[in-house]
Amino acid sequence: VNVTQQPRAQRTRQSILEAAGQVFAENGFVGASVEEVLTRSNTTKGALYFHFRTKEDLAAAVIEEEETVADRIAERELVRDAPPLEVLISLSERWASEIQSNPVVRGGVRLIVERRADPSRLTEPYERWEKLVAGLMLKAQEQGDLRETTDPFLAAELLVAAFTGTQLMSHLRSGHRDLMPRVRTMLELLFAGFVPETRAVRFPGAVER
Amino acid sequence: VNVTQQPRAQRTRQSILEAAGQVFAENGFVGASVEEVLTRSNTTKGALYFHFRTKEDLAAAVIEEEETVADRIAERELVRDAPPLEVLISLSERWASEIQSNPVVRGGVRLIVERRADPSRLTEPYERWEKLVAGLMLKAQEQGDLRETTDPFLAAELLVAAFTGTQLMSHLRSGHRDLMPRVRTMLELLFAGFVPETRAVRFPGAVER
Amino acid sequence: VNVTQQPRAQRTRQSILEAAGQVFAENGFVGASVEEVLTRSNTTKGALYFHFRTKEDLAAAVIEEEETVADRIAERELVRDAPPLEVLISLSERWASEIQSNPVVRGGVRLIVERRADPSRLTEPYERWEKLVAGLMLKAQEQGDLRETTDPFLAAELLVAAFTGTQLMSHLRSGHRDLMPRVRTMLELLFAGFVPETRAVRFPGAVER
Amino acid sequence: VNVTQQPRAQRTRQSILEAAGQVFAENGFVGASVEEVLTRSNTTKGALYFHFRTKEDLAAAVIEEEETVADRIAERELVRDAPPLEVLISLSERWASEIQSNPVVRGGVRLIVERRADPSRLTEPYERWEKLVAGLMLKAQEQGDLRETTDPFLAAELLVAAFTGTQLMSHLRSGHRDLMPRVRTMLELLFAGFVPETRAVRFPGAVER
DNA sequence: ACGACCGGGACTACCCGTTTCT
DNA sequence: AGAAACGGGTAGTCCCGGTCGT
């Protein structure tokens, strides 16, 4: 294999991926046209079909990258030695910020939301989020930061659903521009019901925006 | 104008609308094919394009019907003389039940979620839901059923977003089959944070399913 | 048979025919849409398909009416006791004027020009014109108004072709508005070559416009 | 730009153009079906829509080629050092011969005749013919080959109209097979009226066919 | 006799994901 | 890697019957 060319190949692949992310985010899978991706990435069919065998393949790559980013963020937050609910907060805000700034992530998110009954796909991303959140909720309950009466698993499910709904609303109303404040107030209101009256969650300053 | 044959016409129109609801719900607007609607409704192109000028038109009709149903449900619940939060509960459950059972509603819901920033559209359905819910939240606060510290408008926004997210999750995971219990637990968890500790919301038995 | 309704039926038929003439004149046979005819004639499909079995039928009726008008004009001019070339002149101008004012005639003319290799149609209108003109040319030659060296049949053929071409040009350039002067100068130039130097054709004042 | 494969592409494009010429010539613009062009050119939709964006585009290309051919013929004749009327004769016959033998030209001619008042089109071909002919007529008059009493511009207009009419007649009656003799006699008769008695135009042998 | 409403279905232009050839 | 070609599938148009009322 040629080695000197690899950097250029990687750049090409990346720019295709980014363009695809945008187009998928705006139009969904069926609504997206390969031609549009070509135009935005300033490449040609030859290039695209060299890197990705089909349009489905391209979508899968977008999702994969999005998942990788998600994992990286999750890992980075999980190792922090902070109260679990605070981890949950900064995790949510980091993720929101990523959605705002990274087109590939935005595309992946839309593709996942849209996903038809294609069960042969990668392990459901939502389940992974739910498991991760549930873990934090459990730890929080052990430390007395989650009410005894609140089921940690159901709380996790709700948080994921509410985040998804919030992200959707922000997408529809402002094209994700007001995502951060929406996520912030969502968390505040939710946690008001999760946390015992005697405790209070510390909300750090918003990451950005 | 004319009276002859109208019953048949109405039946045809309705069966097209229902088929369209299904197809839109399953595949979204772009993914839906008119041909599929034809097959499922057991009609022909002539019939379809007699009742609806374009595919867009058909989608608009689906949304319109869905909105009409929503309004009818809202009206029926609002006149009830019950505590506002209980109204909110039965309203949510009625709506969830409608989504489960009525394909046109299901289609409309998906179409609305998908809708890009098409500002020339009917007044955003979400805004209407938010206003309605906010009204009930305000009344609840007056009656002491909503914590003083909870902003009724933000609470309404969250509820709508959480409902949407929950509906989406249920759609993706079970095709709306487990929608009712999901909505129920969502409400329980949310209200735990909204209602003062001294009060308790009465959750009636689930409407059905 | 019902008699009282017949006048109304005739009116309906006529208004359809006129609308059809317009639409055919503007768009040709294939380009014309029955729907457009309906709109302009303010009638409905039921009415149209009662009077005319198919679109072809409608076109045939338009042509038939146009031919009838042509025959009527020809007869009226032919009985006149005037020099043959003068008859030719006023015949041409009457026909031009009819084309300008009568939409059905205009439609018929276009349909005939367009006619595909459909040899099973009514006897070619052009042949009839040529025969008629040839007869007048022959008479003119007998009276010394046509040069001895000019073949009356070829002259007739040319006149018909030139008229058709002129009519077409006028249609393309002005929508038939400048048809009269064009026909007039065409005749003047043509006759300059047909008539012996010693004679001169009397051009009457133009019929109108 | 690109160089690879251009010969093949050019061949494909040309064969599509020729098939399109035929189909347009036979059925006009609306009557022509892209599918028929595909069949006759032995190509596929993909190929056609790679070379031409729409059916209109295809028609425009046919017209453009026809105009190019016309220009080439005109240029070649105009540089000849011959009496203007003789140039006119051989020009007409060359053009007639081209119509007979070149399907693209035939298509273009029909498309132009059909063209409705679409003012956004290329400069009206008829005007260009008229100007060209008028120029020759003027020169002929200077040299005493055109009668003093004949207006060169009107004569040009008539010639173009008569040619168009003749071509149409030949199309309708014989599918252009008898075009050459028709044009020849048309010119003879016309010129009999244009040229002074003392002079005589030399009619060369027909170009071919 | 006349006309209205409703529906049938063949057909059209065109888009678009993909492959082939160089 | 890019130009060219492939071909299935799309929404939509349009001519035309049926089937009623008046």
What is the DSSP annotation of A162-192?
HHHHHHHHHHHHHTTTTHHHHHHHHHHHHHH
Mark yes or no for CB contact B192/A193 under 8 Å.
yes
Question: Among A38-42, A180-184, B15-19, D122-126, which is the least confidently predicted range?
Answer: D122-126
Confidence of residue B1 (pLDDT cuts 50, 70, 90): very low
pTM of the entire structure?
Answer: 0.87
Partner chains of A (3+ C-beta pairs under 8 Å): B
State the pLDDT confidence band at D2, using cuts at 50, 70 and 90.
Answer: very low
Of C130, C111, C131, C129, the C-alpha closest to C121 is C111
Q: How far is A10 from A20, CA to CA, in rounded Å?
A: 15
Between chains, do A169 and B166 touch, taking CB under 8 Å as contact? no
CA/C1' separation A45–E14 (Å): 20
Mutate one of D164, D183, D185 to test the C interface: name it (highest C CB count within 10 A): D164
CB spacing of D186 vs C28 below 8 angstroms: no
Helix B55-78 / helix B84-101 crossing angle, nearest 10 deg: 150
CA A48 to chain CA centroid, nearest Å = 25
Average pLDDT over residues D93-108: 96
B89-130 pLDDT, tens digit per residue, is 999 999 999 999 999 999 999 999 887 645 555 458 899 999
Quick one: pLDDT at residue A2? Answer: 47
- CA of C9, closest CA in chain D: separation in Å? 32
Alpha carbon of A175 to those of A101, A111, A170, D133: distances in Å? Answer: 12, 16, 6, 64
For residue D208, what pLDDT band results from cuts at 50, 70 and 90? very low
Cβ contact (<8 Å) for C160 and D163?
Answer: no
Tell me how long chain A is: 209
Residue B206, pLDDT > 50, answer no
Q: Which DSSP string corresponds to chain B? A: ---TTHHHHHHHHHHHHHHHHHHHHHHHHHH--HHHHHHHHT--HHHHHHH-SSHHHHHHHHHHHHHHHHHHHHHHHHTS-S-HHHHHHHHHHHHHHHHHH-HHHHHHHHHHHH--S-TTSSS-HHHHHHHHHHHHHHHHHHTT-S-TTS-HHHHHHHHHHHHHHHHHHHHHHHTTTTHHHHHHHHHHHHHHHHS-TT-----PPPS--
pLDDT at residue D115, rounded to an integer = 72
Partner residue opposite B189 with nearest CB, options A155, A164, A182: A155
Average per-residue pLDDT in chain D?
Answer: 88
In Å, the largest CA–CA distance within chain D is: 63
Burial category of B135 from C-beta neighbours within 10 Å (exposed 0-12, middle 13-18, buried 19 and up): middle
What's the pLDDT at D59? 92
Calculate the angstrom distance between C1' of F8 and CA of B6. Answer: 38
* DSSP conformational letter for D204: P
C42-99, pLDDT tens digit by residue? 888 888 888 888 888 899 999 999 999 999 999 999 998 899 999 999 999 999 999 9
Q: Which subunits sit against B, judged by 3+ Cβ pairs under 8 A? A: A
Q: What tens-digit pLDDT sequence spans chain A (209 residues)?
A: 344 556 667 788 899 999 999 999 999 999 899 999 999 999 988 889 999 999 999 999 999 999 999 999 999 999 988 999 999 999 999 999 999 999 999 999 999 988 754 555 545 889 999 999 999 999 999 999 999 989 999 999 999 999 999 999 999 888 899 999 999 999 999 998 888 877 777 676 544 43
Percentage, residues of chain B above pLDDT 70? 90
Q: Which of B198, B88, B197, B196 is nearest to B147 (CA)?
A: B196
Report yes or no: A87 and A78 within 8 Å, Cβ to Cβ: yes
Q: What is the pLDDT of residue B64?
A: 93
pLDDT one-digit tens code per residue, C151-178 = 999 999 999 999 999 999 999 888 899 9
* Separation of alpha carbons A101 and A98, rounded Å: 5
* B181: its two tokens: 């219990």
How high is the pLDDT of residue B205? 60
Nucleotides on strand F lying under 7 Å from protein C-beta:
1-22
Both structure tokens of A181: 């404040």
- Is D165 in Cβ contact with C168 (below 8 Å)? yes
Angstrom distances, CA of residue A2 to CA of A8, A16, A158, B83, C41 = 11, 21, 50, 73, 74
Confidence of residue C199 (pLDDT cuts 50, 70, 90): confident
CA distance D165 to A106: 65
Tell the residue number behind the tokens 């130097």, with chain if given. C197
In this prediction, residue A206 carries a pLDDT of 46
Asked whether the predicted pLDDT for residue D17 surpasses 80, the reply is yes
What is residue A7's predicted lDDT score, i.e. its pLDDT? 67
Q: How far is the CA of D204 from the C1' of F15 (A)?
A: 53
Rounded-to-integer distance, Cα C152 and Cα C158, Å: 10
Question: In this predicted structure, which of B146-150, C121-125, C133-137, D37-41 has the lowest mean pLDDT?
Answer: C121-125
Phi and psi (nearest 5°) for C55? -65, -40
Tokens of A83: 């109260």
Region D7-12: mean pLDDT is 82
C5 has pLDDT over 70: no
The amino acid at residue A185 is T
Round to a whole number and report the distance in Å from the CA of A159 to the C1' of E17. Answer: 39
Of A193-202, B47-56, B129-138, D51-60, the one with minimum mean pLDDT is A193-202
* Cross-chain CB nearest to B165 (options A150, A164, A182): A164
Burial group, residue A105, by CB count within 10 angstroms (0-12, 13-18, 19+)? buried
How far from chain centre, in Å, is Cα D38? 25
Burial of D128 (0-12, 13-18, 19+ CB in 10 A): middle
CA nearest to C125, candidates D162, D177, D169, D158: D169
Is C61 within 8 Å of C52 (Cβ atoms)? yes
B194 Cα to chain A: minimum distance (Å): 7
Query: Does residue B163 sit at the A interface (CB-CB below 8 Å)?
Result: yes
- Quick check: D117 and C175 CB within 8 A? yes
